[in-house]
Amino acid sequence: MTQWSLESELCNISGESGLLPSLFSLGFLTAADQLIDVRVEKDWYRSGAESYLLKFVVETSRGLSTAILKAYTPSNLHGDLNARFCEITNRRIFLANNGILTPRLFAARKGVWIEEWLEKSITESLQEINGNEILGKRMAIELRNIAAVLDMNGFLARSIYEDLRVKNDLPYMIDFGEDLGAMSVSADPRYNQNRLLEWLKIDYPVLHALCNDVPAQVISYGRSNPL
Ligand SMILES: Nc1ncnc2c1ncn2[C@@H]1O[C@H](COP(=O)(O)OP(=O)(O)O)[C@@H](O)[C@H]1O
Ligand SMILES: [Mg+2]
C-alpha cells in the first residue's frame, strides 16, 4: 500500500498525476504563478461530529492560500455515505447561489471537500466589533439575511450560528450537515430568525438589538434574488 501524503490526496481528489497538475486543476495555481511550497499546517484531527480536518498551505509567487481537506466522517450514518455527501454539497451550493457567503470550494469529491480556511470564528468577531456601530449594523444585516434565506427555503437549522466563520467582517456559513438539516416545509416563517435572536440575546445584547431593528425591506432573502 502506498503511504498517505498530502500530495497523493490532492492527486486522488483532482484525478491528476503529480502535485503541479493537481494544484492547477484545483485552482490553487495559475500559469502565471510559481509554486514555492505546499505544507501541512495541522495534521488530521476530528473537528466535529461529522468531520476530520487537515489544514495546509499553498505558497506561490502570488502569496499564501490556506485551505483544508474536510473529510466527511459522520459518527452516525444512516444510508449511503456518498449520497449524503452529495446532498450536503448540493445544500451548500444552493445556499451559496441564494446569497449566503460560503468558503471558496476547490473540490468536493470522494467524501472530501477542499475549501478555503477562514481563520476567524464568529465569537471572536462579535467580541471585536462590539461597540463599532458601522460593523455591528453590517453584521446584523448579514446575520438576518442568512436566517431569512434559511427561512425562505424551509430549513429548520439546529445550530449553525456558533459555527459561522468571518472574513472581512462578514459571516460565512461552513456547516451544511446535520446541524443545518434538510430543506423541508416549515410552518414557522421566522424559525431561523427567531433562533438567531435567541442566540444573540444573552451574550451579545447590542448586536441583538441591531439585528432586531433590521428593517424588513433590507432583508434581501439572498443577493441573487432580492425582493
Ligand atoms: N472553512 C473552515 N475554516 C475554518 N474552520 C473550519 C472550516 N470548516 C470547518 N472548520 C472548523 O471545523 C469545525 C467543524 O466543521 P463543521 O463543518 O462544522 O463540521 P461538523 O459537521 O463535523 O460539525 C468548525 O466548527 C470549525 O471550527
Ligand atoms: Mg459543525
pLDDT in tens, 55-105: 999 999 999 999 999 999 998 777 899 999 999 999 999 999 999 999 999
Query: How many whole angstroms from 48 Cα to the centroid of ligand 2?
Result: 6
Ligand 1, atom 12: closest residue by C-alpha: 47
Question: How many structural domains compose the chain?
Answer: 2
| Ligand 1 pocket member 176 (CB < 6 A) | no
Give the distance (Å) from ligand 1 centre to CA of residue 91: 16
Any atom of ligand 1 within 6 Å of the Cβ of 69: no
Could you say which of 100, 116, 132 is where a domain stops?
116
Query: Where does a domain end: 95, 116, 137?
Result: 116
pLDDT tens digit sequence for 29-61: 999 999 999 999 999 999 999 999 999 999 999
Q: Name the residue with higher pLDDT: 224 or 66.
A: 66
> Looking at residues 143-161, what average pLDDT do you find?
94
| pLDDT at position 224 over 80 | no
Domain assignment of residue 225, yes or no: no
Give residue 174's domain range: 120-218
Any domain includes 223 = no
Q: Classify residue 145: in a domain, yes or no.
A: yes
Residue 111 sits in the same domain as residue 17:
yes
- 225 has pLDDT over 50: no
CATH number at residue 50: 3.30.200
- Please give the number of the atom of ligand 1 that sits closest to the Cα of 50: 22
pLDDT tens per residue, range 138-148: 999 999 999 99
Q: Do 109 and 189 fall within a single domain?
A: no
pLDDT at 2: 58
Same domain for 56 and 10 = yes
Query: Of the candidates 88, 116, 144, which is a domain's last residue?
Result: 116
177 lines ligand 1 (CB under 6 A): yes
Would the CB of 164 count as within 6 Å of ligand 1?
A: no
User: Which pTM does this prediction carry?
Assistant: 0.94
Three-state secondary structure of the chain? CCCCCHHHHHHHHHCCCCHHHHHHHHCCCCCCCCEEEEEEEEEEEEEECCEEEEEEEEEECCEEEEEEEEEECCCCCCCCHHHHHHHHHHHHHHHHHCCCCCCCEEEEECCEEEEECCCEEHHHHHHHHCCCHHHHHHHHHHHHHHHHHHHHCCECCCCCCCCCEEECCEEECCCCCCCCCCECCCCCCCHHHHHHHHHHHHHCHHHHHHHHCCCHHHCCCCCCCCC
